[in-house]
Structure 1
């Protein structure tokens, strides 16, 4: 009896001691425990995703790949698999499984170190959301206390959903949906029983049981889980045996972009970081850009093909490296160091034959390259000189050469290529509101993430002249005004030598109409125009187009396009010619949505009157369908150019394509195109800017470190073909569309020799557009003018030194 009493009181003492210890720990730790209620509003880290205007994925930014899934969408087989692996008593305990804890304690006492933590799924939720991975008794007690609170506050389904969306499962995958995408390339709902068991085995040790790294160990873990599911009655013997027999068919799946637009993705990322800071990468923002997939793909292909074409005109610069005499294994090792650039794959020449060559790619496969795709490869001597035409493949390559090939989309044949040394950029805008419809910043983002469309300041050359002509038209000149295309010399104080500007062909045409001077790109006419209307007036006028005055030279070279501007700035300025004189701002992000689909931002840029009317009509339709619909009230853009000036200039720029330096564009077979070429000194920069009422597109081509593109390379040979290829795709099946003719214009018959209204029966008279207040007098009134057709009387003409 005495022994029984001793045993009884000992048990009571132990119980009381444990109760007091637990109570003391609770009183000590509970003030520092976080609120479990916060789990209801917890924000899991979700990456930033950027989409095209038609919802094609462009890019994903963020360290954590996560796609949260609701409990209702989790397959029952996966629930059973995870419970079998982690917590088969989950449905019955209240956050803590004391049997598992006692087992863990026994293992600790017998072995001297922690083998298992005895944690339930609820305890793991407490640790993952609130605690660290520190192995200590205080952390474990906090975990237990939090688990008990979580069970009081949340349902089992809520706890399970939190767990499966939070856990790390290897390869940057957080949550079971992301893991299914990474390892199997499909949703968790589409995986097989064996694949679910494989994923369920990862939480214990994502690196140890990773099927990509340790397939054998991961299979052992998978089969153990399937056995547990069989023992617990979650599956029958037939399903168990079938799942165990399934091979581990796993590989690393990264959701590829549906649209290749890395420069646009980077611009969107930078803007989001500017708006939201580091939260941009974790808050699950969905960014919809203004660029549709079809236009961006057309821009990609046009720039790629244009640079390849230019590059092949200037010959083959030789292999990237030569590896003769090495083994196949050494070749493969070298190939692994090189990545594809702009769709050009690295390969090593393994055999040279009369009909072509065999090349070894990074996968170890040998494929033929036909001789026909190599005939362009004359030896590059310098920008203006090539070696003799090759007669056979051996004249171009030898065994062991590391070269580039491109796969044809239609039949997968390999074409002999090299990475272009020159670069290019393309930007296309909607002139009605400034939306960026396509943008390419270089040949390949993998090669260089420098965005030449938005960052590279280069001299635009003659593609800048329309801004000078616009200033002249708004100051009293007309398209029929005559300006002297004659030699001119400037000698200013401080100049060592006189400046003698010249036309590109070093010829002079004498008095010439502005229309003709523009489509013939006469430099001296542009200089005289600028000299006449004045530097200060012109700088103030041109800065209205959005240019920074600091980028505009304060001298007459401005007329020749010596400003330093980006293609995006040039395209933005040109939109005023295409939209009737409105100043718009380019923008890329159309909409930002939160993780739950709520619109956080909807773009409402300043727009033209026509665009504003269209938006009002859309609002009316939306309100008729839903009185509570969200609508955007349009903002009218500032009018910076007389709409009549914009219309006349567009008409003049159409002549650049019909009869001037942009005649190649006639091959497009459209009558609604206007544009201007631009070529800087020594052909270091090649430009073409052009438009109709739907798109304004600017293309630049050149070298990153300025050097000549070649003696016979101009805006019309390098940039214009890229522009034509893109605009042909962009305008395919679209009707011709020019800005509407505004009121206040007159069409008069003009004498080409005088620029005045032609008398009846005058030979060679032609029709010209004028503002009503600027219509010229008849040819009979020529007295007192320095040049017939000039708006300036003789005594106001600027001084000009002729030689």
Structure 2
């Protein structure tokens, strides 16, 4: 017995020693495999890439983790205290491990038969998040404790909180307190109140369960718990707690209403960044990207495109409705709308859908959400004679030539809100256009893109027609031909014979002869025609003759130096725009005329900075005054003169006549100097208008993605020009009136409109024409008549 007691005594003494030895052995074994905590001193988490408009407004964000890095010094003291009180009350006292919390958690875990409570300190949470994997095991907890102790020896408490509060996930893609403050309250952390800070501090335990978006009351209950803990720890007074609990906290959903407006532009920027820097840097690198987009012009461009497409679609008539709901389906549909309107509301001008429920006199009766609504039939004449018929009746529209439109009860129709106040709502009948359109605007003096709309709705089609769609420009290409001719000896007063032409093309394979007979849109010939008049009225035959005279190869090279990059079809059909090019290419060429002969290649990004503020790319050479590093570069080709100021001015001056007397005369409504040209393809599949004022150039295009005729008389002046006008009417509000500058070398002489020769200044037929130096006619109109030198030009 005595010997047994002796063994027992030594065993009792040896147990703690063995336990310590085991722990030490485990410590040294595991610690050798742990990462270095020193790496946390250079904390570089994934950051969001932000895209800015020209006024600094955020228009887009790209990230895997939505995070904005904020220095510890900018975090409110109450915010820090709220997190400490709720997550680790002893944070400022322990050395990374809180033994009391661990013992409490261990007891609870034993009772639960597994890991149910962590008992981790903030330091341990940082260690787990930054240096370890998230599995819930005793080995990981042991590693976590070792790393937490090491972190406390290496970093300050403020350093640890800085990492923790920037790294922690707080729900709804928000990582860190700055992102959460913006997401939930539309504020920066510096602006947070105590009440708001307590809500954020209550989220780490279960971000989705306590989301103030989805579970407001739970979030407020959790807020009270956090405030109570802050009071217990002496961080706040009872009065401060009571004031915070009484504060009416407004949750502001993070809605970027600009996304729909700038979507096509944003996607172009995103693609460039991904191609240039790679996906990883785009979504984690925290790039700051400044762009040239102007939000007022962008909104005006989108509105103009949508309104013009709807107007074109209405001219084609109303198509039969495709969705007809029974009573049960109507109930479900309207219930879903109610939920949608709770979030977004119904604003005047907004587009949505309504269910037809009846007719009363001149009104179609509808339901929209939980509201009654009416549509005035008299204001819907574009849909023909409208009849509301019984459910089950075959719907019809007037788009196929039938004048009657039948709307069965339960039909789902597109509508636009005219009056959102009162009962019933006032709506207008709409339908989603089938055609597509594009509109882009450039500052011709800098090449900066100010607006870009690539289609009707980015959510339904991401294809950017402003820069990706290659379409036939038709007559909108003619100014390039005329500018080239001015540099080959033509003048605005040159006379060309508008007479029939026949060209024969013999096929090598079978010897067949194919004839091409260019004709004017009016299918008439006008005889002797002044150069200016030919472009003003878009005479096809004259343009073909001019191109034949100056040479197809010369004209193609001329177009290339104006910014047309697409290889052109090198035959006489080039005169009529027979090669498909993008709207942006054509607009670029027109900016040369608007800028006095200077080509400024289009650019939409003005500066890119990395997360540290270092400039990576810029259009401003002074940003790299000390020399560019390997990863820095200018993102804009230097502006360069490509044609003379005189040629640019004469081309612009002639296109002013297009606006004043020709195919673009609707643009006179701007009541200020502008120049431009319509474009229509022979089969009416593409409609264009490209025009400019001295400060801004814009292109408007309209057509079907799957090419088909736009409809009878849907020319550039009717289908595309209205969008350009609507856009420019808003744009000119940003620019003072200006005349196009006239080069000092330009000469003005009185000429005869009929033959382009000189007349006396006091002649009643005198018309002052502009000429480049030394190109004015020298003969008087009163001299003996002259004869045609050849089949297309008069011998002057």
Question: What's the TM-score once normalised by structure 2's chain length?
Answer: 0.87
Tell me how far apart the structure 1 counterparts of residues 303 and 21 of structure 2 sit (CA, whole Å): 75
Residue 40 (str. 1) matches residue 41 (str. 2): yes
1:590 paired with 2:611, answer no
Q: CA deviation at 1:191?
A: 5.4
Report the CA distance shift for 1:496/1:791 in structure 2 as closer, same or farther (over 3 A): closer
Give me the whole-angstrom Cα distance separating, in 1, the residues matched to 2:373 and 2:753: 64
Deviation at 1:334, TM superposition (A): 6.7
Partner in structure 1 of residue 383 of structure 2: 377
Aligned residue number for residue 56 of structure 2: 55
SS of the aligned residue for 2:506 comes to: coil
Partner in structure 1 of residue 595 of structure 2: 579
Counterpart for residue 685 of structure 2: 684
Give the counterpart of 1:507 among 521, 524, 537. 524
Which residue of 2 is the match for residue 536 of structure 1? 553
Deviation at 1:782, TM superposition (A): 7.2
Q: CA deviation at 1:139?
A: 2.5
Q: 1:662 to 1:251 in 2, by over 3 A?
A: closer
Q: Residue 532 of structure 1: CA displacement?
A: 1.2
Query: Does 1:84 find its partner at 2:85?
Result: yes
Aligned residues between the structures = 762
Give the direction of change, closer, same or farther, for the CA distance of 1:219–1:735 in structure 2 (3 Å limit): closer
Q: Is the 8 A contact 1:579 1:739 kept in 2?
A: no
Q: Which residue of 2 aligns with 1:175?
A: 176
Q: CA, structure 1 residues 119+789, in 2 after alignment: closer, same or farther (shift >3 Å)?
A: same
Contact 1:755-1:789 within 8 A present in 2 as well? no
Counterpart residue number, 2:789:
786
TM-superposed deviation, 1:96: 1.2
Other structure's SS at 1:261 match: helix
**CA–CA distance in structure 2, aligned partners of residues 248 and 647 of structure 1:** 61
User: SS in structure 2 opposite 1:420?
Assistant: coil
Distance 1:350 1:449 in 2: 35
- Structure 1 SS opposite 2:165: helix
The counterpart of 1:405, out of the listed 415, 419, 428, is 415
Q: Hey, what does 1:361 align to over in structure 2?
A: 368
3-state SS, counterpart of residue 124 of structure 2: helix
CA, structure 1 residues 789+367, in 2 after alignment: closer, same or farther (shift >3 Å)?
closer
Q: Does the CA-based 8 Å contact 2:50-2:289 persist in structure 1? A: yes
Alignment of 1:611-650 (within 5 A): 637-650=639-652
Q: Deviations over 1:168-189 (max 9, x none)?
A: 1222111223234334444555
* C-alpha contact (below 8 Å) 1:425/1:453 kept by paired residues: yes
Question: How far apart, CA to CA, are the structure 2 residues paired with 1:222 and 1:63?
Answer: 28
Aligned equivalent of 1:740? 741
**8 A Cα contact 2:601 2:637, kept in partner:** no
Per-residue deviation at 1:697? 0.7
Distance 2:431 2:731 in 1: 28
Structure 2 Cα separation of the partners of residues 251 and 294 of structure 1: 24
The counterpart of 2:502, out of the listed 489, 494, 497, is 489
Deviation of residue 496 (structure 1)?
A: 5.2
Post-superposition Cα deviations, 1:242-300, rounded to whole Å, max 9, x if no partner, equal 76688997575444438821111111111111222121122222222112222112212
For residue 720 of structure 1, report the CA deviation from its aligned partner: 1.0
Range moving further from structure 2, 677-686 or 233-242: 233-242
Match of 2:303 in 1: 301
| Cα distance between partner residues in 1 of 2:190 and 2:92 | 22
Instruction: Note closer, same or farther for the CA distance 1:361–1:183 as it changes in structure 2 (3 Å cut).
Output: farther
* SS of residue paired to 1:345: strand
Cα distance, 1:758 vs. partner?
A: 3.6
- Partner Cα separation in structure 2 for residue 165 and residue 109 of structure 1: 34
Q: 1:338 to 1:447 in 2, by over 3 A?
A: farther
Distance in 1 (alpha carbons) for counterparts of 2:274 and 2:151: 35
Query: How far apart, CA to CA, are the structure 1 residues paired with 2:506 and 2:267?
Result: 47
Residues 785 and 502 (structure 1 numbering): CA distance in 2 closer, same or farther, change over 3 Å? closer
2:482 pairs with 469, 479, 496, which one? 469
Counterparts in 2 of 1:12 and 1:89: CA distance versus 1, 3 Å = farther
Structural RMSD (CA): 3.6
Q: In the superposition, relative to structure 1, how do residues 396 and 59 fare at CA in structure 2: closer, same or farther (>3 Å)?
A: farther
Q: Displacement, 1:336?
A: 8.7
Within 5 A, what are the aligned runs for 1:278-297? 278=279, 279-297=281-299
- Deviation larger for 572-581 or 316-325: 316-325
2:565 and 2:585 in contact (8 A); partners too = no
The runs of 5 or more residues in structure 2 that have no matched partner are: 386-395, 626-633
Partner residue, 1:612 = none
Q: Classify 1:372/1:650 alpha carbon distance in 2 versus 1 (closer, same or farther; 3 Å).
A: same
CA distance in 2, matches of 1:203, 1:761: 88
Greater shift after overlay, 43-52 or 689-698? 43-52
Deviations 1:583-640 (A, max 9, x none): 22100011223335444332139xxxxxxxxx99xx9xxxxxxxxxxxx999852221
Query: 2-side partners of 1:6 and 1:247: how far apart?
Result: 70
Distance 2:635 2:231 in 1: 63
The 8 Å contact of residues 759 and 778 in structure 1, kept in 2 or not, is answered as: no
Distance of 1:480 and 1:245 partners within structure 2:
81
Shift of 1:13: 4.2
Conserved 8 A contact 1:48-1:62: yes
Aligned to 1:65: 66
**2:770 counterpart residue number:** 769
Task: Measure how far apart 1:399 and its partner are.
Answer: 3.2
Helix, strand or coil for the counterpart of 1:774? coil
Instruction: Report the CA distance between 1:712 and its aligned residue.
Output: 1.9
Gaps of 5+ in 1: 389-394, 606-614, 620-631, 794-803
Partner of 2:459: 446
Alignment of 1:294-333 (within 5 A): 294-326=296-328, 328-332=330-334
1:160 aligns with 2:167: no
- Deviation sequence 1:20-40 (CA, Å, 0-9, x none): 444434433444433323323
SS for the counterpart of 1:772 is coil
Confirm or deny: 8 A CA contact 1:289 1:588 kept in the other structure: yes
Structure-2 residue corresponding to 1:517: 534
Residue 481 of structure 1 and its aligned partner are, at CA, apart by: 1.3
- Following the alignment from structure 2 to structure 1, what is the Cα–Cα distance between the partners of residues 350 and 140? 52
1:561 maps to 577
Structure-2 residue corresponding to 1:800: none
The equivalent residue for 2:390 is none
SS in 2 for 1:559: helix
| TM-score normalised over the length of structure 1 | 0.86
Q: Secondary structure at the match of 1:260?
A: helix
- 650 and 8 in structure 1: CA distance in 2 versus 1, 3 angstrom threshold: farther
Instruction: Give CA deviations for 1:325-363 in whole Å, capped at 9, x if unaligned.
Output: 33653223675999999942122234432253444335x
SS of residue in 1 equivalent to 2:722: helix
Task: Give the distance between the partners of 1:167 and 1:309, measured in 2 at CA.
Answer: 51
- Per-residue deviation, 1:660: 0.5
How far off its partner does 1:781 sit? 8.3
Cα distance between partner residues in 1 of 2:676 and 2:250: 56
Instruction: Point out the more displaced range, 562-571 or 137-146.
Output: 137-146
Distance change in 2, residues 1:236/1:359 (3 Å)? farther
CA distance in 2, matches of 1:249, 1:542: 58
Q: State the Cα distance separating 1:88 from its structure 2 match.
A: 1.1
CA distance in 1, matches of 2:282, 2:480: 39
User: CA separation in 1, counterparts of 2:10 and 2:375?
Assistant: 91
**Conserved 8 A contact 1:511-1:787:** no
1:99 partnered with 2:100: yes
Residue 214 to residue 334, structure 1, CA distance change in 2 (3 Å): closer
